[in-house]
Amino acid sequence: DDAHIFCLEDQIKDEIRGVLNLAEKILLQFGFEKYEVNLSTRPEKFVGDDDVWSKATTALRDALDDKGWEYKLDDGGGAFYGPKIDLKIEDALGRKWQCST
């Protein structure tokens, strides 16, 4: 459930949209119709500069908004190297499991 995509800045939003569409397709094919989406932002200890973090977070937020997905903000829950979107699936017992980041 981990990948790194290297692209130009003007390609970021399209790449994020593509990854979200792929994740959704896979989840639905496996019958996971209930899943939680979290946008995790810059933690207290991080690398990089504020401008890059801001652009990356905005790109993730815009992609989620464009997709129309509801999501929770996990303020400070990002990795030390960047913000992230976490998808958590729900099993038959109602437990949530992180499935994709």
What does the pLDDT look like over 10-62, one tens digit per residue? 999 999 999 999 999 999 999 998 899 999 999 999 999 999 999 999 999 99
Place of tokens 């129309």: 68
Residue 42: count other Cβ atoms within 10 Å of its Cβ.
20
DSSP state of 68: T
pLDDT at res. 5: 87
pTM: 0.88
Rounded alpha-carbon distances, angstroms, from residue 31 to 34, 38, 65, 91, 98: 9, 20, 24, 10, 16
Tokens encoding 94: 């109602």
pLDDT at res. 1: 59
Q: What is the per-residue pLDDT across 51-97, written as a single tens digit (0 to 9) for each? A: 999 999 999 999 999 999 999 999 999 999 999 999 999 888 989 99
Q: Distance between CA atoms of 47 and 82, rounded to whole angstroms? A: 8
